[in-house]
Amino acid sequence: MFEELSRKLDGVLKRLRGEGKLSQGNISETLREVRRVLLDADVNYKVAKRFIDDVQQRAIGKEVLQSITPGQLIVKIIRDELVTLLGTSNSELKFSSSPPTVILIAGLQGSGKTTFSAKLANELKKQGRHPLLVAADVYRPAAIDQLTTLGSQIDIPVYSVRESDAVSIASHSVDHARKNARDVVIIDTAGRLHVDEEMMREVEAIKYRTKPSEILFVVDAMTGQDAVNTAKAFHDRLNFDGAVLTKMDGDARGGAAISLRATVGKPIKFLSTGEKLDALEKFHPDRLASRILGMGDIVSLVEKANEQFDQEKAAKLESKIRKSQFTIEDFYEQLQEMKKMGPLSQLVGMIPGMNKLPQGAAVDDGAMVKIEAIIQSMTREERQKPQVLNGSRRKRIAMGSGTSVQEVNRMLKQFDQMQKMMKTMSKGFGGGGMRRMARGIPGF
Amino acid sequence: MGILDKLRFEKLKQGLSKTRDGLFGSVTRLVTSKNTIDDEVIEQLEETLIAADVGVEATMEIIEAIRKRIKEERYADVQELQHLLRDEIQRQFVQTSNEFTDPFNITGQKPHVIMVVGVNGVGKTTTIGKLAHHFAQRGMKVTLGAADTFRAAANEQLEVWAKRADVHLIRHAKDGDPAAVAFDAVQSATARGDDVVIIDTAGRLHTRVNLMEELKKIRRVIQKQNPDAPHETLLILDATTGQNGITQAREFGAAVGVTGLVITKLDGTAKGGIALSITRTLKIPVRFVGIGEQLDDLQPFSRKEFVDALFEETAT
Ligand SMILES: Nc1nc2c(ncn2[C@@H]2O[C@H](COP(=O)(O)OP(=O)(O)OP(=O)(O)O)[C@@H](O)[C@H]2O)c(=O)[nH]1
Ligand SMILES: Nc1nc2c(ncn2[C@@H]2O[C@H](COP(=O)(O)OP(=O)(O)OP(=O)(O)O)[C@@H](O)[C@H]2O)c(=O)[nH]1
Ligand SMILES: [Mg+2]
Ligand SMILES: [Mg+2]
């Protein structure tokens, strides 16, 4: 599951929590494991090393000695450093004072440029602008058709010229936009390798000719160690303004985000989270950091929920999670709401504590279907007070849900763990701590 | 003891300045003392493997195997040590007969059905175009099935490739049933007496349960026509992919029984080291590598070349 990283960090952090004192020895062991967690998450090994060094510097010293609960402090330092590394939340785009504003999209092959271009156009249109999409990929088979199809899905014009070169298409598109009262020009370029000199020169030429206000570099969230090389090369050539992290709807841990930030220092401006054209999100460093640290992305969940069901319900849910009065009934209700929002596997990780489940527990939607069936076979009383579930009740539930008693037991155990985790989190970090923590307010 | 104890990153850092000289450049200078050679070389090897996306776990296991061999076999000089390292890494790959014979030379049942799967944007459609070309070049008759009915212009893209490779294409309207396309493609190829059928499928993340179910259905429908088909299920893996590649291979494998890997985009600077982890843990052989966007840019996989490239410097 995509929260594997969080779970590993949890193991490490749990050991630290509850320890009275931090010794030099147990810091370094822990940090070594954190380092491994980062590598497993595809953070570049040099970047990971630097990160660990920073944490170490801050952890060993006065701050730690003075703190009452050293474990909390380490958690805070690790998280703060991660947030710092990820940079600020900044989805702002620069718009030209003399329209049209040109936005240039570049990146490796298959990273998601064309899809993102359409998503961005759609988003800007919603904001009342009048974008023009430009098909400046003259190489990939049917690249123009692809953008044209996407454009028509969202009712946005696409500028394309067959049998021409990318640089002239791009530069003509700006005139075309001016004449046709389109105030934003989004140029979708061909995928290119950073080591392909000719292609890199082409995109430089497009930049030179169209004078973009904004250049966005599109990176696949599944990228491994090489992310630093490509980001650096594209940055050297284009001095891009920000990055887009795509395919974030999968279970890749997204360490590439950390590598990229650390290497070129430019903000990650958007997350692309699906193939559909509305699957575009802002980037929140604190959320990603919280998620990496397994703190559960309650804010995301609540926000996403808000879009789908009413405010009141969301508030109630949030307060319940916060107060840890979370029953199986609530859990079930939440599953139902979430099912409206997308694949459960994607959403479940956002519930605090869900990633504490043993490996393989709630990993896929298939498992969720079983959990659902089990809960459906419970009475209301049982859902509120699982203590009453004796052997014969469990047998009945197993029969009713077409599962086994072991599966029922496992589900109950998981729920119990989840509840405990929520309790620990809200206690460990003071009143309402979990929420503030997820928000990333310094000094939670 | 943490596993990273062994990784000795502090030392790795010192070693970084040397990487420009290449892994073995520095070894030559260290030839004076064997113990130092072992340590230095192994530390740099660790760095090389980690930087190539082999992953911590696989790296540690490979290093362990190499240490053992050094202890057992000894080596006379740096040359031999070099050889030993590369040899051991090559051994980690699943052997395929394909490496020593022409992988495009398909024998047996006709049509030979190949199903191509993978996450979004890895190079499935492009690889199919290249495969079709190579088969056609060998005088085989090929049918392509455009079972990506979802992505914008997926049909048109495969159509261009079919034309380039000059092979037969079966396509339906956009948003049609992908399994129906696969069915038609196999049926049509059988009727035509074609040698090979290659089914393109839409990119999908392995976390999408319903889409993985769809893939299983495509496979079932193919099997209905011929219980032995698909004869090959290729998972396409982008060389830039990090540790997520393992999960991809595991999940696609569980869903449709992947029989071979193709590593694409090896013409970039990414080394595709995750394929090494996958092949050793999941025992799936690598069949081909993609090295560009043209018809000819596909090669049978060679362990030796892959391992040599692993050690090649990437100037950054
Ligand atoms: N799941 C998922 N798929 C995505 C996302 N963004 C893009 N894709 C898919 O990834 C594949 C490649 O996307 P494109 O937009 O064509 O990528 P590109 O960078 O334009 O590709 P080239 O032009 O060939 O370099 C397509 O199948 C898209 O549907 C995302 O955020 N999530
Ligand atoms: N440099 C390079 N580019 C490649 C290679 N293989 C594919 N590509 C490019 O990668 C991009 C995506 O390739 P596709 O074949 O469309 O990938 P796909 O897996 O079919 O994508 P979806 O169907 O959208 O999931 C295109 O721009 C291809 O030209 C390769 O070996 N090297
Ligand atoms: Mg494109
Ligand atoms: Mg395709």
| Sequence ranges of the domains in chain A | 3-86, 101-295, 301-438
Q: Pick from A99, A185, A180: which is nearest to A134 by CA?
A: A185
Write the DSSP symbol of residue A277: T
Q: Is B313 part of a structural domain of the chain?
A: no
Do B73 and B119 fall into the same domain? no
Ordered DSSP codes for A354-385: GGGSPTTSS-SHHHHHHHHHHHHTS-HHHHH-
Under a CB-based contact definition with an 8 Å cutoff, are residues A165 and A198 in contact?
no
pLDDT tens for B259-280 read 999 999 999 999 999 999 999 9
As a whole-number percent, the residues of chain B with pLDDT over 90 amount to: 71
Q: Could you tell me if B153 and B236 lie in one domain?
A: yes
Cross-chain CB nearest to B314 (options A139, A222, A229): A229
pLDDT tens for residues B101-125?
667 778 788 999 999 999 999 999 9
Q: What confidence tier does B40 reach under pLDDT thresholds 50, 70, 90?
A: confident
Contact A40 B55 (CB under 8 A): yes
Examine residue B152 and state whether it is found in any structural domain, yes or no.
yes
Q: Would the CB atoms of B50 and A29 count as touching at under 8 Å?
A: no
Q: Are B65 and B177 in a shared domain?
A: no
Amino acid code (one letter) for B96 = T
Whether residue B298 is found in the same domain as residue B213: yes
Q: Among residues of chain A, what percentage have pLDDT more than 70?
A: 69
As for the ipTM of the complex, it is 0.88
Residue B97 lies in a domain: no
How much of chain A is in helix, strand and coil states, percent to nearest 5? 60, 10, 30
Position A344 scores a pLDDT of 53
The mean pLDDT of B64-85, rounded to a whole number, is: 84
A3-86: which CATH architecture?
A: Up-down Bundle (1.20)
Question: pLDDT-based confidence at A433, cuts 50/70/90?
Answer: very low
- Is position B69 within any domain? yes
Burial class of residue B122 in the structure, from the number of CB atoms within 10 Å of its CB (0-12 exposed, 13-18 middle, 19+ buried) = buried
The more confidently predicted of residues A131 and B13 is A131
* Contact flag B268-A194 (C-beta cutoff 8 Å): yes
Mean pLDDT of chain A: 78
**CATH level 2 (architecture), domain A301-438:** Orthogonal Bundle (1.10)
Report A:143-182 residues touching B (Cβ under 8 A): 143, 145-150, 153
Do the Cβ atoms of A149 and B205 come within 8 Å? no
**B80: closest CA of chain A, how far (Å):** 29
Position B27 in a domain? yes
Say whether both B85 and B121 belong to one domain: no
Claim to verify: residue B190 and residue B275 sit in the same structural domain: yes
Q: Which of B30, B60, B92 is the last residue of a domain?
A: B92
Structural domain boundaries, residue B53: 17-92
B144 bridge partner residues: B169, B198
Specify whether B50 is located in the same domain as B171: no
The reply to whether A101-295 and A301-438 are identical in fold is no
- The minimal CB distance from B242 to the residues A149, A222, A345 is found for A222
Q: Rounded CA gap, B269 and B298, in Å?
A: 17
Instruction: State the average pLDDT over residues B216-230.
Output: 95
Do residues B29 and B72 both lie within one domain?
yes
**Residue in B208, B242, B267 closest to A223 by CB:** B242
Residue B267 with chain A: CB contacts under 8 Å: 193, 195
Please report, for the domain that includes residue B87, its CATH number: 1.20.120.140
What interhelical angle do B78-91 and B56-73 show, nearest 10? 130
Band of residue A29 on the pLDDT scale cut at 50, 70, 90? low
Give pLDDT tens digits for A308-343.
Answer: 444 555 566 666 666 667 788 877 776 776 665 555
Scanning A88-147 for CB atoms below 8 A from B yields 108-112, 139-143, 145-147
Per-residue pLDDT tens digits for A159-182:
999 989 999 999 999 999 999 999
Query: B-contacting residues of A 347-386, CB under 8 Å?
Result: 364-366
- 3-state SS class at B170: strand
Residues B153 and B276 in one domain: yes
Q: Which of the listed residues B40, B62, B92 is the one where a domain comes to its end?
A: B92
Checking phi first, is residue B191 left (phi over 0); if not, alpha (psi -120 to 50) or beta? alpha
Tens of pLDDT, residue by residue over A361-413, are 444 566 777 888 888 888 888 888 888 888 888 998 888 888 889 989 988 88
Which residues on chain B are in Cβ contact (under 8 Å) with A154? none
* C-alpha A191 to ligand 3 mean position (Å): 6
Look at the domain A101-295 and name its fold: Rossmann fold (3.40.50)
* Prediction pTM value: 0.77
Site to substitute for ligand 1 among B116, B120, B209, most atoms within 8 A of C-beta: B120
Domain annotation covers residue B310: no
Give residue A440's pLDDT band: very low, low, confident or very high (50, 70, 90).
very low
B69-96 average pLDDT score? 83
* Residues B141 and B288 grouped into a single domain: yes
- Ligand 1 within 6 A of A246 CB? yes
B122: domain CATH number is 3.40.50.300
In a shared domain, residues B282 and B238: yes
- Of B57, B92, B127, the residue that ends a domain is B92
Q: How many domains does chain B have?
A: 2
Comparing C-alpha atoms, which of B118, B126, B55, B123 is closest to residue B92? Answer: B55
Could you tell me if residue B101 is inside a domain? no
Average pLDDT across chain B, whole number: 86
